């Protein structure tokens, strides 16, 4: 998607308040969403959460895997462009583990991307933003900045 990592992710508190239940409501499966917004120099501003269904092909594995329908991604991109927004990345939950990109998350990305992960509620339910560069570089945790 993008080659350069943002320095931070900006979002208003309301947007993050909306993102948490969108991701958590799919439990015990992984919930997922797309993140639309704007790139402002080295800061990326989240403007909209696009809820998605987890369409991982083996339903019994959805508790530890997620996939977003490519048609849904195209629809979000088309709608976003009409609103002056772009697809910045994705978000998903880890219902049984912490908010750290798994090896599977990294291997399925392919390209450098923004990924937000909601950790398991019993582990604090932290919402963490990551930049996942192309392998072999390690994931980079990104700071949040609240406010528009």
Closest CA to 11 of 129, 112, 125: 129
The 10s digit of each residue's pLDDT in 4-53 is: 889 999 999 899 889 999 999 999 999 999 999 999 888 899 999 999 99
Domain-wise residue ranges, the chain: 8-146
Tokens of 14: 């309301």
Please write the tens of the pLDDT for every residue from 72-128.
999 999 999 999 999 999 999 999 999 999 888 888 776 778 899 999 887 778 899
Q: For 22, list phi and psi in degrees, rounded to 5.
A: -60, -45
Q: Per CATH, which fold does 8-146 belong to?
A: Cytidine Deaminase; domain 2 (3.40.140)
Query: pLDDT tens-digit profile of 39-78?
Result: 988 889 999 999 999 999 999 999 999 999 999 999 999 9
Cis peptide upstream of residue 136 (ω within 30 degrees of 0): yes
- 10 Å CB burial of residue 61 (0-12, 13-18, 19+) is middle
Whole-model pTM over 0.95: no
């Amino acid at each position: 998607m993008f080659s350069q990592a943002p320095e931070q992710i900006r979002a208003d508190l309301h947007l993050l308040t909306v993102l948490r239940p969108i991701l958590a409501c799919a439990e015990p499966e992984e919930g997922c969403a797309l993140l639309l917004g704007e790139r402002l120099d080295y800061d990326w501003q989240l403007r909209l959460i696009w809820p998605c269904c987890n369409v991982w092909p083996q339903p019994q594995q959805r508790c530890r895997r997620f996939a977003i329908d490519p048609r849904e991604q195209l629809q979000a991109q088309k709608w976003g462009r009409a609103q002056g927004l772009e697809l910045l990345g994705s978000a998903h939950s880890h219902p049984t583990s912490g908010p750290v990109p798994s090896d599977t998350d990294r291997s399925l990305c392919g390209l450098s991307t923004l990924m937000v992960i909601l950790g398991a509620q019993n582990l604090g339910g932290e919402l963490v933003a990551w930049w996942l560069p192309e392998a072999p570089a390690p994931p980079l945790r990104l700071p949040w900045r609240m406010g528009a």
